[in-house]
Amino acid sequence: MEAEYPKILASRESSTMASTWTEYLRLDKKNDNSAVLEICQYEVLGQMQGDEEGNPILPLDIDPEDVVRIEDGYICGGVLTSEGGESFQFTTESVSEAIEWLKDNWGKCDAELLAELAQAV
């Protein structure tokens, strides 16, 4: 069975002193026998609202984007995007470079991630 792409390989929490958010490691297979690794996140769709008791209200969608989660008081969703250009395209010949990119940009490349890289190309 052919794996479906793009696929999320991992997620991690990132933060600054002012904010916290979730980043996702996405792998996408291209038609030219290459694949792309990207560090992505969901866009902010709006600020969180609450009911009379202060309980968060999470709408199913906002103009018409799907809502995924609340992060740091903001409603996040829509399509995963790689805004900072944090991506790396690779082929079978450059898997070793993809491993180095993962170590430098994601902090690791374990056996499970390595298997996903090999399967994609």
63 vs 99, higher pLDDT? 99
The answer to whether residue 41 is domain-embedded is yes
Average pLDDT across the chain, whole number: 89
The answer to whether residue 94 is domain-embedded is yes
Model-level pTM?
0.84
pLDDT value at residue 23:
94
C-alpha distances (whole Å) from 116 to each of 8, 77, 83, 107 are: 11, 25, 23, 16
Looking at the structure of the chain, the number of domains it has is 1
Its domain, for residue 36, covers: 7-120
The answer to whether residue 2 is domain-embedded is no
* Tens-place pLDDT, residues 42-97: 998 888 888 889 887 777 778 788 888 888 888 899 889 987 779 999 999 999 99
- Name 106's Cβ contacts closer than 8 Å, sequence gap at least 6: 10, 12, 25, 39
The answer to whether residue 111 is domain-embedded is yes
The answer to whether residue 1 is domain-embedded is no
